[in-house]
């Protein structure tokens, strides 16, 4: 079912660069705002269930709410742009426990934002490389290039690795970390029972 709602889209009057029309434009009444057409989507028994449904679509963000004589209405706008014509709302009817979700008949018309992060497929390959022991950014980039996947910039990769290490923890000791530990143990200790490293070599390129 479709209904008319008091929610409106703003349409600014077109301005003219012709000074001779300025006075005429000022005297013209403002253009009427367009009423939105709404379609019934689904009915729920609780507000929480309706909010969970909207959240699962990953398309909307909460904007505001207002109340009419028979319902409280929660407004949601497009996650990509609040100027997008597509809207969504939760209607909490005051005379019963029904909770209704409706969407506008207008489709999404926003311009998609350019991707700024690392591609999902690339992230999976990076995680595989980390598990196999390849931890140096230079070697990871080289391996990704050989795999033929989308190769991120070194800055993006470094940021991803830093975030990954915070979440996962140091499950694998990198060659750099191992070399640093060996360097600490390279001096002969005073105590004969303490161990130390006599000599070590690390070949990063063959990893």
Beta bridge partners of 192: none
Among residues 83, 70, 74, which one has the least CA distance to residue 10? 83
pTM of the model: 0.42
Q: Do residues 176 and 188 make contact, with C-beta atoms less than 8 angstroms apart?
A: no
State residue 25's pLDDT score: 47
Q: Do residues 81 and 92 make contact, with C-beta atoms less than 8 angstroms apart?
A: no
State residue 49's pLDDT score: 94
State residue 46's pLDDT score: 92
Distance of alpha carbon 35 from alpha carbon 42, whole angstroms? 22
Sequence-ordered strand ranges (E) for 122-186: none
Q: Which residues contact 57 (CB under 8 A, 6 or more apart)?
A: none
Distance of alpha carbon 80 from alpha carbon 73, whole angstroms? 22
If residue 102 lies in a helix (H) or strand (E), which one and from where to where? Answer: strand 99-104
State residue 91's pLDDT score: 94
Distance of alpha carbon 114 from alpha carbon 163, whole angstroms? 22
State residue 54's pLDDT score: 92
pLDDT tens string 136-148:
898 999 999 988 8
Q: Which residues contact 51 (CB under 8 A, 6 or more apart)?
A: 90
* Residue 127 neighbours by CB distance under 10 Å: 13
Low-confidence ranges of the chain (pLDDT < 70): 1-34, 112-115, 169-173, 206-207
Distance of alpha carbon 164 from alpha carbon 111, whole angstroms? 30
């Amino acid at each position: 079912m479709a209904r008319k709602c008091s929610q409106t889209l703003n349409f600014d009057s077109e301005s003219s660069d012709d000074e001779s029309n300025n006075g005429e434009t000022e005297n013209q009444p403002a253009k009427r705002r367009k009423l939105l057409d709404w379609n019934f989507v689904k009915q729920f028994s609780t507000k929480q269930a309706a909010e969970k449904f909207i959240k699962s679509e990953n398309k909307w963000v909460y904007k505001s709410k207002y109340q009419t004589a028979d319902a409280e209405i929660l407004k949601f706008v497009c996650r990509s742009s609040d100027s997008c014509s597509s809207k969504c709302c939760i209607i909490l009817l005051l005379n019963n426990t029904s909770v209704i979700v409706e969407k506008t008949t207008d489709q999404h018309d926003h311009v998609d934002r350019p991707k700024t992060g690392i591609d999902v497929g690339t992230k999976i390959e990076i995680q595989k490389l980390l598990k196999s022991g390849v931890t140096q950014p230079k070697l990871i980039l080289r391996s990704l290039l050989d795999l033929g996947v989308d190769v991120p910039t070194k800055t993006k990769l470094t940021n991803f690795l830093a975030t990954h290490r915070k979440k996962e923890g140091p499950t694998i000791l990198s060659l750099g970390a191992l070399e640093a530990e060996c360097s600490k143990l390279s001096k002969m200790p005073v105590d004969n029972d303490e161990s130390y490293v006599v000599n070590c070599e690390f070949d990063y390129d063959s990893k």
